[in-house]
C-alpha cells in the first residue's frame, strides 16, 4: 500500500512524501528545507531520494538545502542546467530511462511545460502498486495501465478561468499562459477517459490555482467521471 502525504501544493510551493512501507521518497522540493523537515517530522535521514520535475522555484526551492544535508536529488539535465547546480549528489535522469531507488522502479517521461526538459514520473513499488505523478503540464501524450494511485495536477477549470478574464481579474495573456503550461479540468477528464483506471484506488488532485479553480466543481466532475476516492489537499 502506498502512503501519500502532501506537505505543500500550489504556486507557493510543492512537496509530497510517499512511502510503499519500505522506501520513502520526496516528490518535489519547492519549499524551504526547514519546512521539509517539519513535514517529515525531522526524519529526513529516512528519505531515499528526492525527485524534481523542473526548475521553477515552487518545485525546487529546497533543493540546495536538501543537498547540504546529504540527500540525493534526481532531475533532468535541463533542470540541473536551469538551476545552475553542480553537485555530486545530483543524479541526472532521462525521459524513458528507468532506474531504481530502494523498492521503487521509476520511469521518467517527458511532459509539456514552459521550461527545458520537465518530467513526470511513473513509480512502481515491488509490492505491486503503481503511482503516476504528473504536474505542471498542459498535456500527457502517454497512456498508462495498471495504475493504483494518481497524483496529478488540476490547476484550473475553464469556466472559472474564463470568468476571471471576463471580469478583468486576470489578463487574457495570463489565460493563454495558464492553458499552455498547466493541466486543466477538461484535459484531465480527457486523460482519464483515455487510460485504464480499473485498478485505481486513490486520485490526488494537485496544484489547484487559488484564483482559477472551483474546488467543488472540480471534485464533482472528477468523482463523476471516475467513481474513485478523490483527495484535494
What per-residue confidence (pLDDT) applies to 178? Answer: 84
CA–CA dist 65, 61 (Å, integer)? 8
Domain span holding position 172: 3-231
What per-residue confidence (pLDDT) applies to 79? Answer: 97
What per-residue confidence (pLDDT) applies to 172? Answer: 86
Give the phi and the psi of residue 175 in degrees, each rounded to 5. -60, -45
Q: Which of 37, 49, 93 is nearest to 73 (CA)?
A: 49
CATH number, domain with residue 108:
3.60.15.10
Compute the radius of gyration of the chain from its Cα atoms: 17
C-alpha cell at 184: 486543466
Cβ atoms of residues 228 and 200 within 8 Å: yes
What per-residue confidence (pLDDT) applies to 47? Answer: 98
Integer distance in angstroms from the first to the last C-alpha of the chain?
19
The string of pLDDT tens digits covering residues 156-211 is 999 999 898 899 998 888 888 888 888 999 999 999 999 999 999 999 999 999 99
What per-residue confidence (pLDDT) applies to 104? Answer: 98
What per-residue confidence (pLDDT) applies to 212? Answer: 93
The structural domain count of the chain equals 1
Cβ atoms of residues 176 and 233 within 8 Å: no
Within 10 A of 54 (CB to CB), how many other CB atoms are there? 25
What per-residue confidence (pLDDT) applies to 176? Answer: 85
What per-residue confidence (pLDDT) applies to 83? Answer: 95
Length of the chain: 233
What per-residue confidence (pLDDT) applies to 173? Answer: 87
CA dihedral 140, 146, 151, 157 (to 10 degrees): 50
pLDDT along the chain (233 residues), means of 10: 96 96 98 97 96 96 96 97 94 98 98 92 98 95 96 94 90 86 93 96 96 95 97 95
Cβ atoms of residues 127 and 184 within 8 Å: no
What per-residue confidence (pLDDT) applies to 214? Answer: 94
Amino acid at each position: 500500500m502506498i502512503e501519500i502525504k502532501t506537505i505543500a501544493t500550489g504556486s507557493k510551493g510543492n512537496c509530497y512524501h510517499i512511502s510503499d512501507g519500505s522506501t520513502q521518497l520526496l516528490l518535489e522540493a519547492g519549499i524551504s528545507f526547514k519546512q521539509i523537515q517539519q513535514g517529515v517530522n525531522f526524519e529526513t535521514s529516512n528519505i531515499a531520494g528526492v525527485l524534481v520535475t523542473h526548475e521553477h522555484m515552487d518545485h525546487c526551492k529546497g533543493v540546495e538545502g536538501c543537498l547540504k544535508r546529504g540527500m540525493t536529488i534526481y532531475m533532468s539535465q535541463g533542470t540541473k542546467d536551469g538551476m545552475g547546480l553542480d553537485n555530486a549528489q545530483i543524479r541526472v535522469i532521462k525521459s524513458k530511462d528507468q532506474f531504481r531507488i530502494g523498492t521503487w522502479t521509476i520511469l521518467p517521461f517527458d511532459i509539456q511545460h514552459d521550461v527545458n526538459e520537465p518530467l513526470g514520473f511513473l513509480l512502481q513499488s515491488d509490492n505491486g502498486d503503481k503511482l503516476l505523478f504528473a504536474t505542471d503540464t498542459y498535456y500527457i501524450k502517454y497512456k498508462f495501465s495498471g495504475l493504483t494511485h494518481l497524483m496529478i495536477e488540476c490547476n484550473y477549470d475553464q469556466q472559472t478561468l474564463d470568468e476571471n478574464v471576463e471580469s478583468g481579474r486576470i489578463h487574457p495573456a495570463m489565460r493563454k499562459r495558464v492553458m499552455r503550461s498547466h493541466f486543466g479540468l477538461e484535459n484531465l477528464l480527457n486523460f482519464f477517459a483515455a487510460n485504464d483506471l480499473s485498478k485505481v484506488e486513490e486520485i490526488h488532485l494537485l496544484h489547484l490555482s487559488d484564483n482559477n479553480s472551483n474546488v467543488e466543481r472540480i471534485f464533482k466532475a472528477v468523482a463523476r467521471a471516475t467513481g474513485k476516492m478523490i483527495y484535494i489537499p
